[in-house]
Amino acid sequence: MEFKLNPEAKIDIQTEINYYNEKQKGLGKMFHTEIKHYFKTIKKNPFYQIRYKNVRCLPLKKFPVMIHFTVDEDIQRITIRAVINTYKDPKEYWK
């Protein structure tokens, strides 16, 4: 399947990297490595439980972050829609 990262998701990832780098030197790099690992996991098996509408979610274990993505089997595409810190109110994020 094709793997697509929405521009908004790229911003989410960079925001989290910056946040973690402010907290501790090197922590942003650890987050980036972790998120790339989870993207590989999604590529191998994208059929996680649908959480809402057509969106599937995969939480990270080491960071309070959840990857929101869709799978379009017709065109064989996985699209990462958002990478959201679970401490944030999702209603505020999706406005």
Identity of the amino acid at 28: G
Q: Hey, which bits of the chain come out as E strands?
A: 2-5, 50-52, 55-59, 65-72, 77-85
From the list 67, 47, 49, 50, the residue with the least C-alpha distance to 58 is 67
Q: Is the pLDDT of residue 47 over 70?
A: yes
Q: Does 67 score more than 80 pLDDT? A: yes
- Domains in the chain, ordered, with CATH? 2-87 (3.30.2310.20)
pLDDT digits (tens, 9 = 90+) for 30-46: 999 999 999 999 999 99
**Angle between the N-to-C axes of helices 27-44 and 7-23, in degrees from 0 to 180, rounded to the nearest 10:** 140
Instruction: Report in angstroms the alpha-carbon separations of 10 from 43, 51, 81, 91.
Output: 17, 21, 9, 20
pLDDT tens, residue by residue, 11-32: 999 999 999 999 999 999 999 9
pTM for the whole structure: 0.89
